[in-house]
Structure 1
């Protein structure tokens, strides 16, 4: 198994700083975030002013630079962390063309959340759209990935398996994400991997914890999920790695740690140390 970092979680570093530091720490790869951001309004953040994000609008022009700095650092690129949805076909095609030029074999194509039309109608429509996405995948040789994500059409492995039924796993895959599934859609790790079967194409990892918030003036508490350091969240990584080992998974695992308790450099470095510790305990040769 190879370890990468999704650059959404590296907001303070430029791409050059990111590849230099990831290579120094011993990571195997980098998963680039690609999206047009709103102008920054303050300090660099995960979702605003992220310095380690390539704009979608200039992605084609940026491909030579991306390829050059990534190769110079000796890092692989497991996937492109894109945000263009399945109904944004022109953007998806632009991203796939760029990914193909980079030599990246897969990229995220989200299906989004239901709107006023309701879950069932949105689910049906997104599946129709994904027929076009599958054709683009065949054309460019870049597999389209659907991420398991809370408050989306595919928050669980079961929902994703229903969505991708009938699609060719050579062209349409699923990103397993235990951190997102903690918030919504969690299914026992071995079963979730079995449910995805051949459509399992990539793995994202992060961790989270539930936090209580007493309601002012009322005798009750509401709960919300917050991102947590990899070592200290609810997600059971020994269990996940054991399940991945049992199915012979030897692909990429990409970290997107959105906790902030530890400074970025130390956080990223310790994440790699932790993943290697878990792998040593759980993976069989």
Structure 2
């Protein structure tokens, strides 16, 4: 069922008009902030941030488990379809690659102005004044980081705990993407979500490091430089996890990522990752997409083999 979900994601991506659990989770987070955090003191917002995380993540797990229980009770085939669909919605391989390609197409065939608007759809930083190279780097960084958040981590959760654990992971990941910013607006309400996201992504980020390194080798990119940069700069990031996939991609492409950027009008310092053997080019977005696909396939094969061994020779 997990393999079917992975293939479904590669085939369909995330059509905008389809119902999607992550959209419901995002709507709930926005409603909760509006309903319970307006007018609160900073100290109160810290406490409400914990409540927001618990209600969102645990509530997502309970709803997912109940839905699976009900559908399997109705009929095994209905339960199977529900399982595969929920698992499919936790994966984001094609949609991530598609969003990256949209930025590439804007840079290649349209204008930098429209490319700024397009990249603003997938990054948290301010994009109004980004140069063409900065737009390219921002897109590459997002695809690299989300190879872990959008593919490897949910796949790992699916193999460990099915859609229930994977949906809980997506809930906490959505929380981090919506409120986990070190800015005056989100510092208090989002601190707990950001810390928990760091904790849950600790292992997936390091597995992604390995899968991306393997992907660089498979694709004939600069795997030696990826290894060197991946070891040296994997912790050159404010996040304890994001630097791991970004360092491998920077090394494989031979470009430098990271650096200081503005988020919600606030300048946030970030160390650089990698050595600039050349300037970033538009085609680096497509190369990063290929790394994403191959790393995702490697993770699926690896987790499947491990799962088979555990089920047939250990349990």
Q: How high is the TM-score relative to the length of structure 2?
A: 0.27
Identify, as 1 or 2, the structure richer in strand.
Answer: 1
User: Rg larger in 1 or in 2?
Assistant: 2
Q: Which has the higher contact order (CA 8 A, sep 6+)?
A: 2
Identify, as 1 or 2, the structure richer in helix.
Answer: 2
